[in-house]
Amino acid sequence: MARDQERFVEFNVFYTMVLTCKTCRRLGVSVCGKTKCALQRKPYPPGASGKRTSKFRGGSRGLSDYGKQLREKQILKFLYGLREKQFRNYVLKAIATKEKNSIDELLALLESRLDNVVYRLGFAGSRSSARQIVLHGHIQVNDRRVNIPSYHVRTGDKIRIRPQSTDKGVFKDLDLYLKKYNTPKWLSLDKTEKIGEVKGVVYAGDVDVPASVNTIIEYYSR
């Protein structure tokens, strides 16, 4: 990552730090959003016995099937910064859907949250900072201010930084960051005007997440 981009991400994470790297080390996956996660320096669980159990996901033979499912669930839940009740409701809704398979539906629900879309458009360096940016009223959807992180966007919706907020410190170095930033294919972005648009529906193949979504579906289908 270029230094300008790294500085923008680090400022955003500092702006609102929700997860500590102990969570990342415990799960074996970086979910905190930091470019310099402690997991890179200490790739083993926290605690005195951490190094002796440092194989993480590759060394999951000691975990029961339930334990493996639980860890995958925690990875995805922490990645999107959700509480258990929120996450569970999304999964159960995905399982109940008849229009798409459960994996596609779950990822579509998670990805279409406004806080995640703000992050995916490059307006924030982490999902946690994107959530705060939305809560503080810095984002407009179709020219109307929306301050609900869980608001779900739809195809055709236009998302932008509120003009009155563009000079806020949280957007420092944003122009430099966006120069080399590429949005996912289901989004488009006018980097000059800082206006994003939802181009289509999200499918599992469009999203790279460090968790087995199928295992998570199985966990909640018990």
Residue 19 within any structural domain of the chain: yes
Q: Are residues 117 and 142 in the same domain?
A: yes
Q: Are residues 94 and 13 in the same domain?
A: yes
- pLDDT computed for residue 103 by the predictor: 96
* Same-domain pairing of 26 and 93: yes
- Whether 165 is in a domain gets the answer yes
> 33: which DSSP letter?
-
Domain of 180, in residue numbers: 110-198
Same-domain pairing of 127 and 69: no
Residue 141's pLDDT is what?
99
Does 104 reside within a domain? no
What are the pLDDT digits (tens) for 125-143? 989 899 999 999 999 999 9
Q: Do 191 and 215 fall within a single domain? A: no
Q: In sequence order, which residues have a C-beta less than 8 Å from that of residue 8 and are 6 or more positions away?
A: 125, 172, 173, 174, 176, 177
Cβ-contact 215, 72 below 8 angstroms:
yes
pLDDT of residue 100: 83
Q: Is residue 204 part of a domain?
A: no
Do residue 81 and residue 115 come from a single domain?
A: no
Specify which residues 113 forms β-bridges with.
152
- Identity of residue 19: L
pLDDT (0 to 100) of residue 3: 53
Query: What are the residue ranges in the chain where pLDDT is below 70?
Result: 1-28, 30-62
- CATH number, domain of 93, equals 1.10.1050.10
- Do 90 and 116 fall within a single domain? no
Residue 5: per-residue pLDDT: 53
pLDDT in tens, 66-88: 888 888 998 999 899 899 999 99
Edge-to-edge strand ranges of the sheet holding 144-145:
144-145, 139-141, 158-161, 195-198, 187-190
What is the CATH classification number for the domain harbouring 167? 3.10.290.10
- Check residue 196 and give its pLDDT: 98
Domain assignment present for residue 26? The answer is yes
CB 121 within 8 A of CB 189: yes
pTM score, whole prediction = 0.81
How many domains, the chain? 2
Return d(Cα 93, Cα 200) in angstroms, integer. 20
- pLDDT at position 30 is 55
Question: Could you tell me if 13 and 83 lie in one domain?
Answer: yes
Residues 14 and 91 in one domain: yes
Asked whether residue 203 is domain-assigned, the answer is no
